[in-house]
Amino acid sequence: MKKVLPSVKKHAPRAYQEISSNRKAKSRWIKSRGLLRDVVEVTADGPSTVAHLDAFAGKMALAAFAELTGRPIELDGTLFTQWYLNVGLSQEAYHNHLSILPSFSKLQQGKMTSDGQFWLHYNTDMKSIIAALIVFHGNLSVMAIASDGEPYKQALVDVLDDISGPNRPGSRLMHPIDLKLDSLRDM
């Protein structure tokens, strides 16, 4: 957290204020790789923090769609994102996601890979729909479903509309054009 906060302070000052003034922070023990670790639990539920995480998840959905289909998504497409911080994605939920996302990828440049930093589990028809679970350092996970194919767009809205929004923190159902990234400058 100490390594990340200076960057957050510089690029998202309101989110930094929400996180650093968080009175809900508390010490807690978690089990990691068979060992108990003392951690500080911070609730990241302020409006600026949520807006930035929603935008980041949306960007990841767009990037995954472009990577897996070989083209950008159409502006009238449908995006569903759900982000989880740290232990917000339980092991059971993680394995349930993996059962429908059999393909795996990582970033690679030459001999260097993103092992231990970035994982992408996905399923796609390689034309007009993708589902992906993107995991960063094990601390931030993004579930993304994106499509601009006619048979899928409305079906996704019908199925996912009930499970997105305020009833499910971290989830968003949107169109690519809804990602108003310019508005984050003021946050």
pLDDT at 70: 94
pTM over 0.85, yes/no: no
Helices then strands, counting H and E runs in the chain, come out as 5, 10
pLDDT at 134: 92
pLDDT in tens, 139-156: 889 999 999 988 888 888
DSSP 15-48: HHHHHHT-TT-EEEEEEETTEEEEEEE----SHH
pLDDT at 27: 77
CB neighbour list of residue 26: distance below 8 Å, 6 or more residues apart? 40, 41
pLDDT at 24: 61
Does the pLDDT at position 187 exceed 60? Answer: no
CB neighbour list of residue 183: distance below 8 Å, 6 or more residues apart? 51
pLDDT in tens, 88-104: 787 888 888 888 999 99
Q: Interior CA angle at 60 toward 57 and 66, to 5°?
A: 145
Q: Interior CA angle at 94 toward 157 and 78, to 5°?
A: 20
Question: Per CATH, is 45-186 categorized as 3.60.90?
Answer: yes
Q: Look up tokens 């917000």; give the residue.
A: 88
Domain-wise residue ranges, the chain: 45-186
pLDDT in tens, 25-79: 677 787 766 788 777 776 778 889 888 999 999 999 999 999 999 999 999 899 9
- Residue of 156 and 185 predicted with greater confidence: 156
Q: For 170-184, what is the mean pLDDT? A: 78
Does the pLDDT at position 81 exceed 90? Answer: yes
